[in-house]
Amino acid sequence: MFALSRQVQCSSIGITVKYGNVTCYDDGSVVVEGPAVVQVSRAIAWVDGRSRKVGNVQKLVLDVISRGFHARDEIGGEANISKGALGYVLASLTRKGMVVLVKATSGGPCRSYYFLPGQDIDGYLKSRGLRPCSRRA
């Protein structure tokens, strides 16, 4: 048995309907019947219009990150997937907002570290003597 989404006001999920027949649901899905003009809030527009559904490889990478592996090479080694596939998966998860990318260094070149939202990024960086890379204009 599965739960069905409830219909809600579109404004409650960050959608403004300018014109047309639009129905919004509490899971974030939107159904448009016929021509319509909608405005999406900036808060959800950055998700790039992509689904937040994840496949098995993405679930594996999320699990590895949740277990404390944050450096790109650590994640790839623990998940046992190729560099190319890992890059694609991490970029996709970052774009969807499911993973936070932090570039940090201990004095050498910057390296990429990936965290789940809510994980203690500062604590991880401090415990390893890392500092975020400076952003250049």
Report which DSSP code applies to 117: T
Of 117, 113, 96, residue with least CA distance to 104: 113
Number of H helices, E strands in the chain: 5, 6
Residue 137 lies in a domain: no
Q: What is the radius of gyration, based on Cα positions, of the chain? A: 19
Reported as a pLDDT band with limits 50, 70 and 90, residue 96 is confident
Residues 61 and 92 in one domain: yes
- Asked if 92 contacts 67 with a C-beta cutoff of 8 angstroms, the reply is no
Overall pTM surpassing 0.85 (yes/no) = no
* Section 8-23 average pLDDT: 85
In this structure, the answer to whether residues 76 and 20 fall within a common structural domain is no
Cα(50)–Cα(83) distance, integer angstroms: 23
- Tens digits of per-residue pLDDT, 41-65? 654 554 444 555 667 888 899 999 9
Give the range of the structural domain holding residue 92, as residue numbers without chain letter: 56-132
